[in-house]
Structure 1
C-alpha cells in the first residue's frame, strides 16, 4: 500500500478515558471535554457533538466498512497489495489481523464520544441549550450515533461489551468487561433509536447541508428499520412501520430521477439522502477514492484496491442494468497484472467507481450512511416476508424503474425474495451492505462456497472455505490480550 492508512491504536481499556479525543478533522480542540468543568456552555455541548460526528471520518467508516462488507462477499476482490485485506477476501481472517483491532478501537472511541454527550449535556446550566429544545436534540443526536456504532459492532462481532456511561477509571473491574449478549446489545440500540425519534426533528430548517449532515427522525427511523431486519429475532412488522415512517416523512425523501446523479459529486445532500458524511476537502477529506480509482483519475499507477468481481458484473449484465453498472464500475487498461482479470500488464481491469474523484488524497466524494433506495428495498423485503408479495412488487419496481429496468418477473414469494436480494446488490454495491444482506437471507455460506472464481495467474479455481462460524469476525487478539474476559467467537483460536 503506497499510502499509510491512518492507524488508531487505542485499546478498549485506555479509550475509556478519552470520550472526545483525536478530533480527526482538526476542528476546535475538544480533547479535555471528559472533565466535568469542561461541560459548561452550549458551545461546549456543540463542540462535543461535532467531535462525535467526526468519528465518521475515521478509517473504519471511510474504508474498512467496505472491506468487511463488499470485499468479504461476492461483490469485490481485494485488489491492492495488502496481505490482511487479501485475507478478508479469502475468508481467512485470523484474530491477529490488525484491521480487526483498528475497527474495534475506532468504533468504541466513537461510542465513548457519544456517551460523554449523552451523560454530560443534560446537566449543563446554559439557557441557550433550552432555546428550541436544543438540549434534547443534542442528546438525541448522540443517541442515534451510539446506536449506529453499536449496530456496526454487533453485526461484525456478535456479543460485545456494552458501555453506556463515560468513565475515567482504570480499575480492571470497570475496564475489563465481559461481552454482553447480542439480544441485550440490540435492545440498547432499539432503546437509543426510540429515544432519538422522540427528540429529533424531521429537519433543522431549509438548509440541506445541515439536514443531511445530522441525525433526524428520518435517520433514526431508517436505522431502526435496518436494525429490526438484521437482528436475530427480526420483526418485519417493525421494519415496515419504520420504513413507512421514512417514506412518508415530512422531510420529503424521494428517489432521484437519475441514479448516476447520486454519485457524480455535484448532487450531494439530495432528496434521496437521509444522512451522509460531509467531506469538504482539504483537512476534512475522504482519502478512500485515491485507494480505488484508476490511473486516469487518481494520477498514480500503483495497483488499486476493491476490484469488482466477475460475479458482480455478471449480475449487472444478466439484468441489462447498464445505468447502474456504468455509475458503479469503470474499466481501464492498467500497467499492472490482475490475477482475476488480466494476468499480464496492460490488460482491461474494472474499478470501483461510485467515488469519482481522488483529488490527491483529499476528495470531497461522500458516503451515504443511509439513503432512501435502501429503505424502499427493505420495505419490499418486509412486505414479501409478511406474505404481501404483490405489494412488495410495487415497491421493488419503483427502484427498478428508476434504473431503467422493466418490472420484475418474480412469480411467487421465493422468487420475489431472490429478486429483492439481487436488486439490493445492484443498487447498493460499494456501499457496505452486501455481507449483511447475505447473512440476513441465510445465504452467506451457500453463496461463498459455490462462488466460481478462477485465478488466471495460476489457472487454479479459488476455493472459499466458508463456514457458519465465519459469518462473525474473530474478537481481535490484541484486545483479548488486554482483557481476559472477552473470550473468542466459535471457530477461531
Structure 2
C-alpha cells in the first residue's frame, strides 16, 4: 500500500512523480540511482525529498493511528477494545519492552528525522531552478518537522539520542549514540523552531489546502506553545507569548462557530486548523477511521479499538456537555460482548466518532496536528500559572460558549488550584480522542493519581480494575531491539 498527501500536489512545485515506501525503513535512495554527490541537486529533487519528510505522517503507523493508543487508550479516555494484546498493554499501563508498537513508533519517527536531516543539509546546496527564499523555506519546513518528531520522542521516552546530521555511514561511532538528556532534547527542539520561524511565512497564499498542509509561522508558534508548557520546567511566559502569536497571527485563525463541523469531513483545512495531516482517499487514504467507527459506518462487524471509557462519558454527562459528547461519541448496539459496557450481545456501546468516514480503509478524513482551541486553552493554562486567574477564566469561557455551556462557576475560579482543575477538565472535553490526554495528565502532575483513582468495573468478573500505576510508567520503555543493537542506550527505570 502506498499513501500520498496533498503535500505531494503542492509542495513539489514541479511535475515530478515521486513515491515513498509505506514501511518504516528509510526510502530516500538517490533519484535515478544518481551518486550521493549529485543527488538532490535540483529544485525538483529537493522538493521531492521534502515531500518525503511530510509523507512520514501518512506512512508511519504511529502518526496514522497509534498516537491515539499512546495518549487516549493509555489514559482514562478510552479502552483498548478489540483483541490486540499489545494495545491491551497500553490500556493496562503495563507496556512490555518488546511491544512492537513502541518499536514501530521509535523507528518511524527516527526515520522521519533522518529524512528531515537530509533536506536540511542538501537544500542550501541546490543551485538549479530555485530561489534563495524557497531554499530557506524548505530548510524551515524540515527544521519544524524535525522538531515535531523530537517533541514526540522526548515526551514518550525521555532523553533520546540526538541525530542532527544525515547518517550515511555504518560506523558505530556515528550510529550508536548514547541518550541525550531531556533538557538537551528540548533545547534542540527550541533551537530548530526558532530558526524555522526566521524562514517560514504566515501563509503560502490563499489556498488553505496548502496553508494547513505545510509548516508555517503559525505551526511553529503552536509547537513552541506546547513545548514550553510540556518541558519539565515550564516557561509559562513563553507559553503565553507563543499562544498569543498564534491567536493574533496574520493567518487569521478563528474558532469554527459549530464544533461538530471540525469532524464532519466537510470542513477540512478550516479556519480553526493550524496544521493537518492530509489525506485524499482511495490509494492516498487514511486507514485509521476504519479502526474505531461502528458497524453502521464502517461496513464491517468486528469489534473495534479505542472504545470511549465510562469515565469519559461520565465527564461529558456531568458537565451537561451535549454538543461535544455528540461530536466525539456515537452509541450503537452491537453483536459482541464488551467487558466494560455490556457483558451480553446486543448491548449499546460508545464508539469514537471524531473521524467519521471509514472509506473501506481509505478515508479522506484529515487528522489535526494543531488546532486553535488547543492553543487557546494552553493560553488559559499559562494565564492561570502566572496568577492571572480572572483572565484565564475569560479565555476558557470563550471555548465553553461555542458549545453552549455556561461560564465557569465561582467555585471553579476561586483559586489557582480550582482553576487548574477546571482547565484540565475543559481540555479533556474539548480534545477527547485527539491524542492530548496523556500529555495533559503528565504536565499537570496528576497522571498516577488519576489512573489509580479510576473505578472501572470488569463486567466479566464484577471486580474493579486495578491499574497499579507508578511514576516509572509515565515513560514508555526504550525498545529492547534498539538496546540490543546499540549497547550505549540505557533503559528507562522500571523496565
Asked if TM exceeds 0.5, the reply is yes
Work out the CA distance in 2 between the residues paired with 1:157 and 1:451: 25
- Give the match for residue 119 of structure 1: 121
Instruction: Give the match for residue 251 of structure 1.
Output: 251
Which position in structure 1 is the counterpart of 2:147?
Answer: 147
Instruction: Identify which of 464, 470, 479 aligns with 1:461.
Output: 464
Q: Partner of 2:47 in structure 1?
A: 46
Which residue in 1 is equivalent to 2:78? 76
Question: Using the alignment, how far apart are the partners of 2:229 and 2:320 within structure 1?
Answer: 29
Shift of 1:172: 1.0
Please state whether the residue corresponding to 1:349 is helix, strand or coil: strand
In 2: Cα distance, 1:327 partner to 1:285 partner: 22
- Is the 2:73–2:306 Cα contact (8 Å) retained in structure 1? yes
Contact 1:329-1:353 at 8 Å conserved across structures: yes
Structure 1 counterpart SS, 2:131: helix
Please give the residue correspondences for 1:159-238 in structure 2 after superposition, counting only pairs within 5 Å: 159-238=159-238
Do residues 59 (structure 1) and 57 (structure 2) align? no
CA contact (8 A) 2:20 2:55 kept: no
Partner of 2:359, secondary structure, is coil
* 1:420 pairs with 2:418: no
> CA 1:208/1:5 → structure 2, altered by over 3 Å: closer, same or farther?
closer
Task: Say if 2:491 is the partner of 1:488.
Answer: yes
- In structure 1, the residue matched to 2:433 is 430
Q: CA deviation at 1:174?
A: 1.0
Asked whether the equivalents of residues 23 and 54 of structure 1 are also in contact (C-alpha less than 8 Å), the reply is no
User: How far, CA to CA, are the matches of 1:161 and 1:204 in structure 2?
Assistant: 34
Given the alignment, which residue of 452, 455, 474 partners 1:452? 455
Q: Distance in 2 between matches of 1:181 and 1:384?
A: 29
- Deviation at residue 108 of structure 1 after TM alignment: 0.3
Contact 2:2 2:21 in 1 (8 A): no
Q: Do 1:21 and 1:31's aligned partners in 2 also have CA atoms closer than 8 Å?
A: no
Contact 2:343 2:460 (8 Å CA) reproduced: yes
Conserved 8 A contact 2:273-2:371: yes
Provide the rounded CA distance (Å) in 1 between the counterparts of 2:222 and 2:70.
22
Residue correspondences, number: 471
Q: Which residue of 2 aligns with 1:386?
A: 386
- Per-residue deviation at 1:36? 3.0
Q: By how many angstroms is 1:32 displaced?
A: 2.0
Describe the SS at the equivalent of 2:430.
Answer: helix
Return 5+ residue gaps in structure 1 as ranges. Answer: 7-19
- Report the counterpart of residue 17 of structure 1 in structure 2: none
CA contact under 8 A between 1:30 and 1:47: conserved in structure 2? no
Q: Tell me, which stretches of 5 or more residues in structure 2 are unaligned?
A: 4-17
Question: SS where residue 140 of structure 1 aligns?
Answer: helix
Contact conserved, 1:21 with 1:30, CA < 8 A, in 2? no
Q: SS of the counterpart of 1:360?
A: helix
Counterpart Cα distance in 2 of 1:380 and 1:337: 42
Q: Secondary structure at the match of 1:87?
A: helix
Is the contact between residue 352 and residue 433 of structure 2 (CA under 8 Å) also seen in structure 1? yes
Distance in 2 between residues matched to 1:256 and 1:215, nearest whole Å? 21
Q: TM-score under structure 1 normalisation?
A: 0.94
Report if aligned partners of 1:243, 1:375 keep a CA contact under 8 Å in 2.
Answer: yes
